[in-house]
């Protein structure tokens, strides 16, 4: 198992807001949450692109990121993901480069084929064409970002002596990651082009939960294309919620999660009903959701690292499954007690504390002797009562 020297933590914000709530207010809560994560020293925040269904109501992640960038300092901001078949690749590259400069290098281009069949239907795109178009577009975007002049004629876009007139701020390349859910298309594209991978393999989204298999697919594609990929650039998304007790955590989110499965995943997205579907407890027990105390989260992340062979980042799926206060508290617990366990920040304080504790008796004797000497050097008598107070 290969572990990163500093594991990254972040959010994968579709987002998920129930129909019937004020969309303006929900978008403001999303911005406020990313600002809170930045305050807590989270590493990354990814923002989705969806055009139908009512729940995932951010339609342009680049515009949202521009707003979030003004309220944050260090957190990296990624598209989670840009649905490439819905955009001309030159426009995608241009937008990302502009954001890259405006944020001084805090941008990650996350790409995918488009998750919702209803989006593709509105665009008039056959669903079977989404993945091939994503891969075709990605290849062109990488060439543009690398400063090439591109000529490319496709059945859905054309480029004639096209090049970016402003190159990325980030060097050697603006970071890119491909989303992978059910099929080998995402991992294969990540390997073929030597870019990062975002595993959305949780069964919540129809994935198989086979993280190790997903990475093997990416490695095989990289080897075939003569590319190298790093587990450091592999992020895994996961339903994640932390509270003071496991019972409290489950009770806080289970009703909302069930409603999301019934009202959105089944009724709107159209996935078939599964017996027991929508219950969070089976996902927790099978390791496909992290819900409980900080200690529970640490143990589950360790198991996930072991099962996957090692990955570089964990992204909490941005469910709005309880009150704003409890959601913010969950991320605070993650930042204070879980993330440091995987980022090497506890080693110094722990080792220093152990070292000082091992020498505490000797240090106390020296302190007492120095205090007595100070009195004696001043010509003052040290009474037995004073000696007793020094012990």
At residue 391, the pLDDT reads 72
pLDDT of residue 159: 98
pLDDT for position 205: 43
378 lies in which domain range? 359-390
> Which is more confidently placed, 372 or 338?
338
User: Rounded mean pLDDT of 196-216?
Assistant: 74
The least confident of 56-60, 207-211, 375-379 is 207-211
CB contact at 8 A, 305 and 1: yes
Do 297 and 374 reside in the same domain of the chain? no
pLDDT 10s digits, 75-123: 999 999 999 999 999 999 999 999 999 999 999 999 999 989 999 999 9
Same domain, 244 and 106: yes
- Whether 206 shows a pLDDT value over 70: the answer reads no
Residue 278 forms part of a structural domain: yes
Looking at residues 166-194, what average pLDDT do you find?
95
Determine, yes or no, domain membership for 2.
Answer: no
State the average pLDDT over residues 318-327.
97
Q: Using the predicted structure, report yes or no on whether residue 203 has a pLDDT greater than 80.
A: no
Q: What pLDDT was estimated at residue 210?
A: 82
CA 122, CA 363: separation in Å to the nearest integer?
74
Q: State the average pLDDT for the chain.
A: 94
Q: Is 275 exposed, middle or buried (0-12, 13-18, 19+ CB in 10 A)?
A: exposed
* pLDDT value of residue 276: 72
Closest CA to 141 of 70, 210, 83, 92: 92
Q: How many domains would you assign to the chain?
A: 2
379 and 249 in a common domain: no
Both 299 and 372 in a single domain?
no
- Are residue 228 and residue 366 in the same domain, yes or no? no
Question: What CATH number should be reported for the domain holding residue 24?
Answer: 3.20.20.30
The sign one gets for the Cα dihedral 265, 267, 268, 272 is positive
Which spans in the chain are helix H?
23-39, 61-69, 89-102, 117-123, 130-145, 185-193, 211-225, 246-259, 280-285, 294-308, 324-333, 347-358, 360-377, 384-390
DSSP letter at 273 equals P
Residues 6+ apart with CB under 8 A from 284: 250, 290, 291, 292
Token digits of residue 362: 């000797």
**pLDDT tens digits, 251-285:** 999 999 999 999 998 999 888 887 777 899 999 99
Q: How confident is the model at residue 202 (pLDDT cuts 50, 70, 90)?
A: low
> Going by DSSP bridges, is the β-strand pair 8-16/44-47 parallel, antiparallel, or unpaired?
parallel
List, in order, residues 6 or more apart from 227 with CB less than 8 Å away: 191, 192, 193, 194, 221
Indicate if 342 and 375 belong to the same structural domain. Answer: no
**Do residues 79 and 112 lie in contact, with contact meaning Cβ atoms separated by under 8 Å?**
no
Percent of the chain scored above 70 by pLDDT?
97
- Residue 352 burial (10 A CB sphere; 0-12, 13-18, 19+): exposed
Angstrom distance (rounded) from CA 80 to CA 83: 9
pLDDT score of 48 more than 80: yes
Q: Are strands 76-79 and 8-16 parallel, antiparallel or unpaired?
A: unpaired
Q: Tell me: do 84 and 121 sit in the same domain.
A: yes
- For the beta carbon of residue 100, count every other beta carbon within 10 angstroms: 22
353 assigned to some structural domain: no
Residue 1 lies in a domain: no
- Can you give the length of the chain in residues? 391
HSE, CB side, 13 Å, CA atoms: give it for residue 240. Answer: 29
Rounded Cα distance between 146 and 210, Å, is: 33
Q: Which helix (H) or strand (E) holds 178?
A: strand 176-180
Q: Identify the band that residue 201 occupies on the pLDDT scale cut at 50, 70 and 90.
A: low
Q: Is the pLDDT of residue 207 over 90?
A: no
pLDDT at 42: 98
247, 379: one domain: no
The reply to whether 277 falls in a domain is: yes
In a domain, 143, yes or no: yes
pLDDT at 204 over 50: no
Q: Are residues 384 and 338 in the same domain?
A: no
Within a domain: 25:
yes
Average pLDDT over residues 52-56: 96
Clarify whether residues 192 and 301 are in a common domain: yes
Same domain, 52 and 19: yes
Q: Are 158 and 273 in the same domain?
A: yes
In a domain, 3, yes or no: no
Give 120-179 pLDDT, tens digit per residue: 999 999 999 999 999 999 999 999 999 999 999 999 999 999 999 999 999 999 999 999
CA 343 from centroid of its chain's CA atoms: 15
Give CA–CA dist 76/63, Å, rounded: 15
């Amino acid at each position: 198992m290969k572990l990163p020297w500093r594991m990254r933590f972040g959010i994968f914000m579709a987002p998920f807001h129930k129909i019937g709530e004020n969309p303006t207010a929900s978008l403001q809560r999303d911005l406020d949450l990313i600002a809170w994560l930045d305050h807590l020293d989270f590493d990354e925040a990814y923002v989705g692109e969806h055009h139908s269904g009512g729940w995932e109501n951010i339609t342009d992640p680049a515009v949202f990121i521009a707003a979030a960038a003004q309220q944050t300092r260090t957190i990296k901001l990624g598209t989670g993901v840009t649905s490439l078949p819905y955009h001309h690749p030159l426009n995608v590259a241009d937008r990302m480069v502009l954001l890259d400069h405006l944020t001084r290098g805090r941008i990650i281009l996350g790409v995918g084929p488009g998750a919702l069949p209803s989006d593709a239907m509105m665009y008039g795109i056959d669903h079977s064409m989404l993945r091939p178009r994503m891969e075709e577009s990605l290849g062109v975007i990488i060439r543009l970002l690398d400063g090439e002049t591109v000529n490319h004629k496709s059945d859905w876009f054309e480029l004639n002596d096209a090049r970016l007139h402003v190159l990325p701020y980030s060097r050697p390349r603006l970071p890119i990651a491909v989303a992978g859910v059910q099929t080998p298309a995402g991992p294969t594209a990540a390997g073929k082009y030597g870019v990062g991978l975002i595993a959305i393999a949780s069964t919540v989204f129809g994935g198989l939960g086979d993280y190790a298999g997903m990475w093997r697919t990416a490695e095989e594609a990289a080897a075939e294309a003569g590319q190298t990929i790093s587990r450091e650039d592999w992020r895994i998304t996961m339903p994640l919620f932390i509270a003071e007790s496991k019972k409290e955590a489950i009770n806080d989110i289970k009703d909302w999660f069930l409603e999301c499965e019934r009202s959105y995943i089944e009724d709107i997205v159209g996935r078939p009903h599964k017996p027991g579907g929508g219950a969070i407890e089976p996902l927790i027990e099978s390791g496909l959701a992290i819900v409980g105390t900080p200690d529970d989260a640490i143990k589950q992340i360790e198991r996930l690292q072991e099962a996957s062979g090692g990955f570089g980042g964990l992204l909490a799926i941005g469910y709005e499954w309880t009150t704003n206060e409890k959601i913010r508290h969950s991320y605070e617990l993650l930042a204070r007690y879980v993330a440091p366990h995987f980022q090497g920040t506890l080693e110094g304080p722990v080792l220093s504390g152990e070292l000082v504790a091992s020498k505490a008796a000797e240090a106390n004797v020296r302190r007492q002797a120095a205090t007595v000497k100070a009195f004696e050097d001043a010509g003052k008598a040290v009474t037995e009562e004073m000696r007793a107070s020094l012990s």
